[in-house]
Amino acid sequence: MAIKDYIREVAPEKEKIVKLYTGKESIFDRMGIIKQIKASFGKTVSFKQGAYLIIEHTEALHVIDVNSGNKSNSEADQESTALTVNLEAAAEIARQLRLRDMGGIVVVDFIDMR
């Protein structure tokens, strides 16, 4: 196992976390890596709770639209749902900006609140 030998040389304290994957399905499918790669470059980014972002690129700017999806009925009222989705979206937007190396003008359309 050449990888273990390499890890032993560069970071011996990490050697214990390296394990050989012997599953039948592709490790990329098993760990959801393909889905993450597609999501990194796709137009839509979904959250676990059902909300999602739509990211559009134009010549001059980036536009991000926040949508509650099927999460719209999960909170006590519409205002708390909007707040929850917007807070989750803000964290995910920051992540997507870094992943996609997006800069310049970024317009975010959060869910309207009072």
3-state secondary structure the chain: CHHHHHHHHHCHHHHHHCCCCCCCCCHHHHCCHHHHHHHHHCCEEECCCCCEEEEEECCCEEEEEEECHHHHHCCCCHHHHHHHHHHHHHHHHHHHHHHCCCCCEEEEECCCCC
Please tell me the predicted confidence (pLDDT) of residue 84: 92
Q: Give pTM, 2 decimals.
A: 0.67
Query: Does residue 73 surpass a pLDDT of 80?
Result: no
Please tell me the predicted confidence (pLDDT) of residue 61: 96
